[in-house]
Chains A and B, each alone.
Chain A
C-alpha cells in the first residue's frame, strides 16, 4: 500500500509563508508609537533631564524652550521629565492591571467553557452581574472604601476588567469547544487540562491578544479619569491624568502643561486601537 494518491485534481491552499503577515503603513506607525512609549517606560529615569519633583524654573506654565522642551508646569517643574516619569505610572499600572484581568478572565473563561454545568452557571452569572456596574463608578466606590494606593489601583482596575475579559474568552472557548476536533479529543479520553492547553488555548490566542490590547486602552482611560478626579495616582507621583488635573488652571492660557499629557494619552490609546484594527491579516483571520 504505497501508492500515493494524485491530489492534483484538488486545488491546494498555499503553503504558509510570509504572505498574510504584511503590516499596513498605518499599523506600522501605530506599532512604532506604542513601542516608543514602552521603551520610555523602561528607560525613563535615564531619559528625564530633571529630577521629577524639582522646581527648576520661576516661570510657571512657560512655553517650550531649549531648556524645557515641553515647557513648565504650575509650580515651574520641567514638563518633559514629568511626562516621561508619568508614562511609568500610566503604562505600568495599566499594563499590570490588564495582564492580571486578562489572565484571570481567560483562564476562568476556558475552564468554565470546558467544564460547563453548575460551575459555569454560577461563575458566569456572578461575573456578568459585576460587569453590569459602570466601571468608573465601581472604581469610585472601592477607592472611597479602601483609599488609594498603587496596589489598590492595580487591583481595582484588574477586578473591574476581569468580568469583561472572562465573558469574551468564554464565548470564544465555548465556540471552539463545540468544534469536531475537540469532540475527537474528548472521545479519545483526554482530560480537561489537556483540552484547555492543547485544543482550546491555541485557537483563541489571537483574539485574546487583541482583546488584551483593547482592555489595556480602556484601563488607561479609566486610570486617567480617576487620576483626573484626584482619586488615582497621588502626589507627589503623577500619571498623565494627574498631570492634566494639576495643571488644569493653565487651561485658560492654553498652556502646554495641560495639552502635552493629554496628547501623550491620546497618542498611546489611539495608536494601540489603530494597531489592533490594522493587525496583520493572518492574526485578524483568527479574530472572527
Chain B
C-alpha cells in the first residue's frame, strides 16, 4: 500500500456557546502517499488547521469530529479510544505548531521537551533519546547542537525554536508529520533558514508530511501536492507544479494572483513646485522608551539617527523586520511618542513632540492607520459614529450633513452605505480595514501613516486594500508613509524606499534604485529571502546571510558597531564591529550605511549569486511575471 493517510468524508462541526452548530470542515476526502508532502492551502477560516488536527483524532474545544473516517497506516484513527489515541499521538503522528514559542513549556528545558514523546511512548532510554536529539539538532543546522538542549525556551530565538519543534516532532520517527504554518510567525530572512532545514530533513528521512499554510510560495518549495481549501471544502487538488502553472479553479487563480502583487500604474509624483517645502522632513530622529540616560539616549533606544524627506505627492515605504523600529517611527510622527532627539517638520514647521501640543490643523493633516483593524476601531461604537467623530472634531460638521459625508466616505472606500449602523464586531477583516482608512480620510489629510495595514489580512483581501490605497492616492492627492515588513508590498505602492535595521537607516533610495545592484548587504538578504512562486526556488538559492548566534536578544542600536555586523556575509572583521559605518552614496543614487566600497559590494554580491545552482531572477516575483 502506498497511501499512508486516507481521509474520507471528514466532517467537523463547531458549536457556539448558544448551542448553534456550524460545519467548519465539510466532507473532505484526500490521501497522502508515503514519503510525500501534501499541502493544505487556504485563508483564515478555511478549516486547514482543523483538518490537520483531526489527523491526530484531536479537535479543539468547541469543535467535534462529526463524521467520516481517517486511516493512517491501516489504523482507523477516529474509532480509537482516548488512551489509544494518546498512543498514536507523538508516536505515529506528530505535530509542529505554528508558534513554537508558545508550544514550548517555559518552565522546562528544551531537551526534556524534545525527547518527551520518546519517553512517554517508552521508545528508547533517556540517554539514547538525547543522543538522537543532538543528532537532529545538527541535521536541522542549529548552532551549538550539544548545548542547546540544556537551555530554556526563552533563551533561544524564534527561528531556532521552530527548528527545535521540528526535532521534537521527529524524535519518535513518526510515520506522519503535521506542519501547521511553521514559518508564518517568522521574519522572511529567518523563514528561509527554517524552510531550508525543514526541507533537508524531509528529504533525508523520506518523511511523509501534511503541510498547512496560507502561503503558496512557501508551499511550492516543500510540497509535492497541493489541496486548496475554502470554507471547509476542497476547491482544487493537484500536483504542485500543476497548481502553480495550470490552476483550474477560479478561487485558486485568485489566490495565485493575490500572491503576485502587481505594481499598479503609479501616479506620476506631482511635479513639485520648486519653492514648495517638503511635506515631511525627519532629521536625526532618536526615540525609545524609558528615562534618558547620561548619554541623552532613552533606556531602550528603538530608533537612532533616522532621517528622510518626503516630497508632496510622493510615497515613502519603510521596511524592516519585527523590532526594527518601523512602527515606533510612525508613532513619533503621529505625536504618540515624543522623540528623545531630532526633529519632525511638516511643511517646513517643526512639530511638537506630543499630539497634545500640536495645532488642530497639524493633527488633521497627518493621520495614522494601524495594522490590527480589530483593535483600531472602538467595538462599542457603530461605524457612523466612528467616521462622524473626526468630521465633527475637525470640520464641525453635524446632523444631516454629517450623515451625508459619512455616506460619501463609505463610498470612497467602496463599502455599502448600510454598513453605517453596524458595529465593528459585525464586519469582516477587510471591511474593518476600509472603515479604518475612511476614518483617516474623514480628516482630509495630506499624509497618511499606514502601519502594516495589510499584514493581518488574507492575501486576496490585502491585495484589494492595496488597490484601494493606490486609487485613493490618485483621487485625493495623498502621500503615504507606508510601513511594512513585506518588501514586495512596499515596492508596489511606494516611490521611495527606506530600509531599517535595528533602529538604523541602512539604505534609502528610489524604488527603481532598490532594484539594481549593489544593495546594502541587509537589503540584499531581504530581497533574496522573499519566496518566489515557483518550485525549486529554494533549492536554487545561494547561501544567504548568516544567522544570529544563539540567544534571542533583540539587536539594539549601538553606537560602536554596524548593527548588521553579526549577520552580514560581507563584513570586515575588526572594522565593522568597532566603528559605526559611514553613509555612502552609491552611483545609482541610494544611500547606504556600510564600510564596504561600492565596487567591493558588487563583487561580493555577484559571488554570493554565483554559488547558487540556478540563475537567480533578481527582480521581484510579481514583476517577473508580467
Contact = CB atoms under 8 A, between A and B. Distances in A.
Interface stretch (B54-62, B158-166, B371-379, B546-554): B371-379
B614 interface: no
Given A1-B475, A181-B377, A189-B363, A9 B460 contact: yes
Interface in B588-602: none
A94 to B, nearest CB: 29
A179 B368 contact: no
A45 B352 CA distance: 64
B430 A4 contact: no
A288 interface: no
Contact of B368 (A5, A187, A281): A187
Given A1-B411, A183-B336, A184-B439, A12 B377 contact: no
Contacts of A186: 336, 355
Contact of B411 (A2, A179, A189, A190): A2
Interface string A57-73: 00000000000000000
A199 B378 contact: yes
Interface in A149-193: 179-181, 183-184, 186-190
Contact of B426 (A4, A14, A20, A202): A14
A173 B378 CA distance: 14
Given A4-B416, A10-B429, A189 B356 contact: yes
Contacts of B378: 181, 198-199, 202-203
A125 interface: no
A75 to B, nearest CB: 52
A22 interface: yes
Contact of B335 (A15, A181, A187, A198): A187
A189 B360 contact: yes
A143 B145 CA distance: 68
A2 B458 CA distance: 24
B370 interface: yes
A10 B462 CA distance: 12
A7 B431 contact: yes
Nearest to B376: A180
A26 to B, nearest CB: 15
B206 interface: no
Nearest to A8: B428
A184 B414 contact: no
A23 B17 CA distance: 11
A198 B381 CA distance: 9
A14 to B, nearest CB: 7
A189 B377 contact: no
13 contacts: A1-B414, A5-B414, A5-B430, A7-B430, A12-B431, A180-B371, A181-B375, A183-B331, A183-B334, A184-B368, A184-B376, A186-B355, A189-B356
Interface of A: 1-5, 7, 9-16, 19-20, 22, 179-181, 183-184, 186-190, 198-199, 202-203, 281
Given A9-B461, A19-B16, 7 more contacts: A5-B414, A5-B464, A7-B431, A10-B428, A10-B461, A180-B372, A187-B336
